[in-house]
A and B are shown apart, each in its own frame.
Chain A
């Protein structure tokens, strides 16, 4: 059969390149006054080798390849961002429309800040997009090959999917110590990376670019994380944080010195020149000028982005007497056990789970009761057996009845969130029985399947029932209605749920339906999240920073559980929740310190 490719080197051979070696050898630098020049030795060797082996390629292909070289280079000498042209098609497919402030930020970071910048936009303005754009631009310009992205562990997948979907950058997520060396673009948890066995490898590597998400964790120069990052060898560095400073100018100094040592001089000179006290700046104009050379902060509103509204619809659900009785009995059981083991015990975790599940559905609670039973002999806890039997007997679910009624009022697509898979399966069963087309979305799905389900939901199904695990990084702006079948206790998780639809690119107001069961803990949670801290209607920027600022001894959920266990009466619980809510609001005020004003104009 005649060859399809009349070439000396067939297309499918993979071809050859004079500079295919990722680390080409160069001659010793020859100084030519203001610059030095190095010649490729590797290229010479390959060339001579090719001539000796008489591997001559077709002349017409050669000329075409030369034309290709010229075209590629024309592209590499841009007056504007190359990435915008390269990503135009992809963005059209995935529905990304870059905002002018994001493009301007990328241009400033590259052209004015020489790839060393703190991206300090307010929450929700797309810092990740900006960082991705900068990274892509540097990759296209041939300046970045080895890049390390340090994030909190919970955001690693989000980074992975954002880079892949929006920038066609295939990054690895660090799993083994080999990844540090062999993966060119690697996403890793800062906590993992700073561990001695990893840090020693990382500090040996010369990175072209380092990206640090949630960089406010590096404000304190005495922490191990700060010292670890300080020792990383990098050419370009991006730090992402919405709160580069809280209430101490030294934090700002530390962060900027980590990025670019000397930008603000030595600490002694900085203190003398710019600090009146730790919260008040001297010479603010001069300081602002210095800050604007390394820090970019975009604010919501004028010139950037206007988010659509969040409209909250609380739906009160009344449990049937049988359900209410079982709820009370399970709650009493939890209280009894918790008081015996203490709230700081490890055993408290399954109890918290059980308490949250019982507000979701008795199917979910039943599963946990069963697991608890499996871990100990049934006769060891007759109460557990009894509760499980009663949970199995309940065939009626008041919340789902209300959900069905609610569904009848919707004409568009809906995402229903629950925290539990058992509840998810039950909701899907009920809705399918009622004639709705549903898809399920959870963390068990592979990446490809998640994408497929997203497409199914966009094109065919009316309802998506999702546990929030696995939803990170996937955006459903085409939908503007969400139903919280149960409420997560942690506001971060709630914000993540809402953030799936209420984000850049959403053009309609977002409707949030919260199903809240009367006379249960859910009522109190709703009170805290909705009435006290107004979680549903406002985008509470910097939530993670606020929670970090609260310096809780335990997790947010454990803190709530402590309040519920230590107080029996409804009024007492409300009082404690009020106090807790106040602390959150104060935290919000405190992280919004006057020092932040320094960053606003630059």
Chain B
């Protein structure tokens, strides 16, 4: 049985989220009850409730008359359409307990000790758990010539520091909803954050492989030469100019960047109050960001994290 795992996973998750459990009535064939609302969603307003049998295998579909769900099939299309319009914007947080705090603490102390110029000891006085807000957007990048090639590109921006970074942690580790805990106050407006992401994408595109654009450009120039030869010696220069413009409009290589969906993600911070004991003694704060593994320290005894209603 040749089953596309991604397709099957999508279909079963779809039904699970609708609180429906497909029953495997025969090896490779599943059955699920479609109530009227779901039937209408999938098959239009005239659909009625029914038992829906499906399979991912063409041979089984032929043999038992179950609906085939495979790449390009009508049924996969309807499910994809239903799924894709469900969620546009969401929010989720990464709980602190996804990380082993004693290891972080040990690692940070070790790192601080390593960077000190003389023998120094660090004592953790306090640990405050807070969250950093990120705007995470999934863009569709379409490279258009006479063909079109679409890719997805996901990128996030730290709403406090403005740092742009891809999400290094699987989204599966996040938990839906806002965090229960203090969230750093954001500094960037959403518009600024979005523009920062766009700028970053522009920079990325500029250094990527441009062969596709070069080929398209050459083809366009060839078309333009042909067009010019057609109007050679003709008085209709206005028409030539208009047609040249149309050619450029239709075939010049271009990239369209459009957001598909976005999420506010809250990533944990581990903010330690530390005492350094060495030649001198001082108390300071160090914040560990588990996404970038960076440690930032502040001398003054005040936390940048503020409590937020985090609604």
Contacts and interface: CB of A to CB of B under 8 A. Distances in A.
Interface string A43-70: 1101110110011111111111111111
B186 to A, nearest CB: 11
A9 interface: yes
Interface string B67-98: 01001111011001011111111111000000
B191 A44 contact: yes
A385 to B, nearest CB: 53
B7 A71 contact: yes
Given A67-B9, A68-B80, A266-B230, A73 B259 contact: no
Contacts of B17: 6-7, 58, 60-61, 64
Contact of B71 (A38, A42, A54, A85): A85
Contact of A47 (B19, B194, B201): B194
Interface in A24-52: 24, 26-27, 29-30, 32-40, 42-44, 46-48, 50-51
Given A36-B254, A56-B90, A65-B83, A265 B41 contact: no
Contacts of A265: 226, 229-230, 232
Given A59-B174, A85-B72, A65 B261 contact: yes
B226 A9 contact: no
B138 A69 contact: yes
Contact of A56 (B10, B91, B142, B171): B91
Contacts of A4: 18-19, 35, 37-38
Given A4-B18, A64-B13, A75-B72, A16 B88 contact: yes
B237 to A, nearest CB: 14
B230 A257 contact: yes
A24 B83 contact: no
Contacts of A50: 88-89
B13 A67 contact: yes
B202 A30 contact: yes
Interface string B136-156: 011010110011111110000
Contacts, number: 272
Interface string A252-279: 0000010011110110110000000000
Interface stretch (A86-94, A221-229, A280-288, A482-490): A86-94
Contacts of B206: 32-33
A15 interface: yes
Given A12-B37, A36-B254, A72-B84, A44 B10 contact: no
Nearest to B198: A39
Given A68-B84, A265-B229, A34 B6 contact: no
Interface string B268-306: 000000000000000000000000000000000000000
B88 A18 contact: yes
Nearest to B172: A63
Interface string B208-241: 0010011011010001011111111110000000
Contact of B84 (A65, A74, A236): A65
A379 interface: no
B229 A266 contact: yes
B127 interface: no
B74 A89 contact: yes
A268 B229 CA distance: 10
B249 to A, nearest CB: 8
Contacts of A29: 254
Contacts of B307: none
A35 to B, nearest CB: 4
A114 interface: yes
A87 B225 CA distance: 39
Nearest to A77: B149
Interface in B17-73: 17-19, 35, 37-38, 40-41, 68, 71-73
A30 B13 CA distance: 40
Interface of A is mostly: mixed
A233 B246 contact: yes
Contacts of A12: 37, 40-41
A408 interface: no
A291 to B, nearest CB: 14
A69 B151 CA distance: 10
A7 B88 CA distance: 12
Contacts of A115: 146
Nearest to A29: B254
Contacts of A46: 88
Given A37-B254, A69-B138, A262 B85 contact: no
A141 B72 CA distance: 12
Contacts of A15: 82, 84-86, 88
B146 A47 contact: no
Nearest to A143: B148
A50 B259 CA distance: 13
A141 B148 contact: yes
B256 A142 contact: no
Contact of B262 (A35, A47, A59, A64): A47
B250 interface: yes
B259 A65 contact: no
A19 interface: yes
A178 interface: no
B229 A65 contact: no
Contacts of A30: 202
B250 to A, nearest CB: 5
Interface of B: 6-7, 9-10, 13-14, 17-19, 35, 37-38, 40-41, 68, 71-74, 76-77, 80, 82-92, 137-138, 140, 142-143, 146-152, 171-172, 174-177, 190-191, 194, 198, 201-202, 205-206, 210, 213-214, 216-217, 219, 223, 225-234, 243, 246, 250-264, 311
19 contacts: A34-B253, A35-B252, A37-B205, A37-B257, A38-B254, A39-B198, A47-B89, A50-B89, A57-B90, A59-B91, A69-B84, A74-B6, A77-B151, A88-B73, A89-B74, A143-B148, A236-B146, A266-B231, A266-B232
Given A11-B37, A56-B91, 15 more contacts: A15-B88, A35-B143, A36-B254, A37-B205, A51-B190, A55-B89, A66-B261, A73-B151, A75-B72, A77-B149, A89-B74, A114-B146, A114-B251, A262-B230, A266-B234
